[in-house]
Amino acid sequence: MMRKRTVAGAAVVLAGLGVTAAGGGRELLRRQAAIARRRIGKPLGEHAIDADRIWKKTYGDPLRLLVLGDSIAAGLGAERRKDTLGARIARGLAKELHRSVELRTAAVVGSESSALAAQLDGLPSSYRPDVAVIVVGGNDVTHRVPVGESVEHLEHAIVRLRSTGAEVVVGTCPDLGALREVPQPLRSLGSRMSRQLAVAQTHAAVRSGAHAVALARVVGPFFITNPDEMFSLDRFHPSALGYKRTAKALLPSVLTALGVADEVPFGHHVPAEVRPPDR
């Protein structure tokens, strides 16, 4: 079922935003969604590069990094495995910790937050990540999933991960207003809805014991001011540089979650109350 809903050129599902308006406004948004579909298309296919491996293997004592979520988490748009989001985070961690990082990517292109449970179910029962990074939400917005339902799935995933002893970092929903190929007012509508979800995700993450990074605030401005460099061929998913910036934005909270750093910069949120998870 998930594969059938997978759409690499996300403008296809932006048509779903068009039904949120009434009358003539609804018809206008439908037409604009059709324009976006034509402009973006599906040049990247529906599968990201497999980047799972032990990065910086010679360092030894590998730390286990799990990446969950949607196409951004999976790294769609990267042409080399070292440029995927997971690989970028793994390489950054290895450099900071001088320790190998074993990357496992459970993220699936096209996933909504409801798919997080299945992604966790698909892991070996013996697998215990040291830290998990979740990036999800864009497809929830385009498929008009209610915010409450979306964050409930996110919270359940965080609680499950925390119960295994994993630290968790959530990269909140990116700002869909950065998509230049989407006409106005559809773009503004997507921006407002994605920002609302991001705020709700932040609250859900921190109250569940996870760290949250507001991607729209921390890395979003780069996508808005430098779209030619930050976006890949489909003008929706990040390019190699886009993933580099996104990983760099997430890394401070990952290091803090692991107890390596004490402070986080602007746009990063620590758990409201840190409790050791049950092991």
Residue 219: which of 199, 179, 246 has the closest Cα?
Answer: 246
CA distance 160 to 47: 26
Largest CA distance in the chain: 62
* Strand locations in the chain (E): 54-55, 63-69, 101-105, 131-135, 167-171, 211-213, 268-269
Tokens representing 134? 């979740």
On the question of a cis peptide bond just before residue 43, with omega within 30 degrees of 0, the verdict is no
Options 71, 100, 150, 232, the catalytic residue: 71
239 among known catalytic residues:
no
234 among known catalytic residues:
yes
Tokens representing 95? 């450099």
Options 52, 140, 175, 234, the catalytic residue: 234
Phi-psi region of 108 (alpha: psi -120 to 50; beta: other; left: phi over 0): beta
Neighbours of 103 (CB within 10 A): 23
278 among known catalytic residues:
no
Options 237, 239, 253, 269, the catalytic residue: 237
CA distance 58 to 185: 52
Distances from the Cα of 202 to the Cα of 16, 70, 89, 98, 110, angstroms: 24, 17, 20, 30, 21
Q: Which residues are catalytic?
A: 71, 234, 237
